[in-house]
Amino acid sequence: MKIENHKIEQLRELLSVESQNIVIVGHANPDGDAIGSSLAWGGILESKGQNVTYVVPNKFPYFLSWISGADKIHIYKDKKDDKIDTLIANADIIFCMDFNSIARIEALGEAIDSNTTAKRILIDHHLNPVSDFSMMFSYPDSSSTAFLVYTIISELYGADIISTPIAEAMYVGIMTDTGNFSFSNLTPELFKAVAKLVELGINIPKINTQVYNGYSADRVKLLGYALGSKMELMQVGDFEAAYISLSEEDMRSHNFQVGDSEGFVNYPLSIKGVSLSAMFSETRQFIRISLRSRGDVDVNLFAKKYFEGGGHKNAAGGKSMKGLEETIEYFKSAVNEFFK
């Protein structure tokens, strides 16, 4: 990934004015990369004398709350929030982290669309960004937005400006979005960046434990139940897929907290031959769909075509307004049609 010089210079110029009101927004259902990249980028801007506010559309998983600065993040909660609306109205710059279209942040997006003249800058690695932005750092070849943030900071100020807590936030984004260095775009530059983060003082086993070994017992039991009782396999010719469904009752009976089902969708892909995995989670308003795949199986296109969604080639998501059972039937016929 090479960031064009003129873009870096434009950003440098924009940030040369101190004490600007800067709002940093991460995507809905924030994950390690949305939170990690937002806090890392904001941390640097704060160290450069900017007034930074962090906002996400809804709650983020509890296993990310230890990251330095996580306690400062405002949750918009999918409805109007006067305090945050005022911050947005008074913003000079809004950075949009780890998503590719204002429509992806729902009610918060409406507030941004209707309420402010701030410059909107995208920092993201999803495919097909929508041109809602005055400036775009869109690099789908980057394995995470956090790595993109590292690269931008290195170009702007040099990586030595990164403090240990900021390096930790970056590493969380890099680690979670690459599936602990097991997905695509694992470039030499990425490992050089990680080497630098280690030099800057991050403790990888500690971060790994905080993110992956910080679950509740209920979460681990829910995983067992999801795999043991709620996973189905299907086959279309040579093509093998698997899906997991979780009803509201499944979640309620396991004292579900936001983030508890994070990563479940990856497990079916550990079955030899399975190249598509889906998870359906029932919410009050709709069914949320998570998709993962291997190799050339393109779930970004699949999510776009059938589930009003998108994402990356091997990790995407979407939604369905049908009921859970009906959504599963629709999914099965979609798989039959798309992957036959």
The site for ligand 5GP (CB under 6 A) is made up of: 27, 29, 31, 99, 104, 126, 290, 309-312, 315-319
Residue, CB closest to Mn ion: 33
Maximum Cα interatomic distance, the chain, rounded to a whole number of Å: 61
Which residues does residue 96 pair with via DSSP β-bridges, in sequence order? 25, 122
Q: Work out whether 33 is an interface residue with Mn ion (CB under 5 A).
A: yes
Region 64-103 residues binding Mn ion, contact defined as CB under 5 A:
98
Please identify, using beta-carbon distances, which residue of 254 and 312 lies nearer to ligand 5GP: 312
Structure tokens belonging to residue 211: 């993110």
d(CA 292, CA 277): 5
Please identify, using beta-carbon distances, which residue of 50 and 256 lies nearer to ligand 5GP: 256
Of 259, 236, 249, nearest in space to 331 by CA: 236
d(CA 204, CA 214): 15
Piece of the chain touching Mn ion by CB under 5 A; list 30-38, 52-60, 67-75, 316-324: 30-38
Region 160-219 residues binding Mn ion, contact defined as CB under 5 A:
177
Which residues does residue 94 pair with via DSSP β-bridges, in sequence order? 23, 120
Region 244-273 residues binding Mn ion, contact defined as CB under 5 A:
none
Structure tokens belonging to residue 119: 């410059």
Which residues does residue 232 pair with via DSSP β-bridges, in sequence order? 243
Please identify, using beta-carbon distances, which residue of 15 and 298 lies nearer to ligand 5GP: 298
Do 311 and 299 form a contact (C-beta atoms < 8 A)?
Answer: yes
Please identify, using beta-carbon distances, which residue of 150 and 306 lies nearer to ligand 5GP: 306
Closest distance between ligand 5GP and the C-beta of residue 15, in Å?
26
Piece of the chain touching Mn ion by CB under 5 A; list 68-76, 129-137, 140-148, 325-333: 140-148
Distances (CA, A) of 224 to 50, 200, 289: 46, 38, 20
Please identify, using beta-carbon distances, which residue of 174 and 251 lies nearer to Mn ion: 174
Please identify, using beta-carbon distances, which residue of 98 and 260 lies nearer to Mn ion: 98
Closest distance between ligand 5GP and the C-beta of residue 96, in Å?
12
Closest distance between ligand 5GP and the C-beta of residue 187, in Å?
19
Please identify, using beta-carbon distances, which residue of 102 and 242 lies nearer to Mn ion: 102
Closest distance between Mn ion and the C-beta of residue 170, in Å?
12
From Mn ion, ligand 5GP, none, interface partner of 310 (C-beta below 5 to 8 A by class): ligand 5GP
Closest distance between ligand 5GP and the C-beta of residue 43, in Å?
22
Q: CA 317, 323, 324 angle in degrees (round to 5)?
A: 65
Closest distance between ligand 5GP and the C-beta of residue 147, in Å?
14
Which residues does residue 319 pair with via DSSP β-bridges, in sequence order? 288
SS (H, E, C) 122-183: EEECCCCCCCCCCEEEECCCCCCHHHHHHHHHHHHHCHHHCCHHHHHHHHHHHHHHCCCCCC
* Sign of the dihedral through C-alpha 65, 266, 149, 10: negative
Q: What is the DSSP string of 49-98?
A: T-EEEEEESS---GGGTTSTTGGGEEE-TTS--HHHHHHHHT-SEEEEES
Please identify, using beta-carbon distances, which residue of 11 and 35 lies nearer to ligand 5GP: 35
Structure tokens belonging to residue 165: 């807590």
From ligand 5GP, Mn ion, none, interface partner of 312 (C-beta below 5 to 8 A by class): ligand 5GP
Please identify, using beta-carbon distances, which residue of 154 and 293 lies nearer to ligand 5GP: 293
Closest distance between Mn ion and the C-beta of residue 112, in Å?
20
Closest distance between ligand 5GP and the C-beta of residue 260, in Å?
13
d(CA 62, CA 53): 20
Closest distance between Mn ion and the C-beta of residue 231, in Å?
26
Site residues (vs Mn ion, CB under 5 A)? 33, 98, 145, 177
